[in-house]
Amino acid sequence: MNHVSKEEITDIVNGLNTTGRQWHYHLMTPTCRFNDTDQFALFVEDVENDKAYVLLSERAQMKISKVFAKLLHGKDVVENTLSNSATELTRQEKNIIEQIDELTSLGMHWHHHVFFPHCIFSNHKDNFELVLENPSNQSTIISVSRYEPKQVLRYIEKAFYSQKSVK
Ligand SMILES: [Zn+2]
Ligand SMILES: [Zn+2]
Tally of helices (H runs) and strands (E runs) in the chain: 5, 7
- Say how far apart CA 75 and CA 61 lie, in whole Å: 18
Q: How far is the CA of 80 from the centre of ligand 2 (A)?
A: 23
- Say how far apart CA 110 and CA 133 lie, in whole Å: 7
Quote the pLDDT of residue 165. Answer: 86
pLDDT in tens, 37-70: 999 999 999 999 999 999 999 999 999 999 999 9
User: Any idea which ligand is nearest the CA of 72?
Assistant: 2
pLDDT in tens, 114-150: 999 999 999 999 999 999 999 888 899 999 999 999 9
Residue type, 98: E
Q: How far is the CA of 137 from the centre of ligand 2 (A)?
A: 23
Quote the pLDDT of residue 86. Answer: 54
Tell me: pLDDT of 78 over 80: yes
Q: How far is the CA of 158 from the centre of ligand 2 (A)?
A: 21
- Say how far apart CA 15 and CA 5 lie, in whole Å: 15
User: Any idea which ligand is nearest the CA of 28?
Assistant: 1
Q: Which residues contact 123 (CB under 8 A, 6 or more apart)?
A: 129
Backbone conformation region of residue 140, classed left if phi is above 0, alpha if psi is from -120 to 50, else beta: beta
Q: Which residues contact 79 (CB under 8 A, 6 or more apart)?
A: 70, 158
pLDDT in tens, 11-24: 999 999 999 999 99
Residue 83 pLDDT level (bands cut at 50, 70, 90): low
Q: How far is the CA of 29 from the centre of ligand 1 (A)?
A: 6
* Sign of the torsion formed by the C-alpha atoms of 126, 127, 130 and 131: negative
Quote the pLDDT of residue 82. Answer: 67
User: Any idea which ligand is nearest the CA of 131?
Assistant: 1
pTM of the model: 0.94
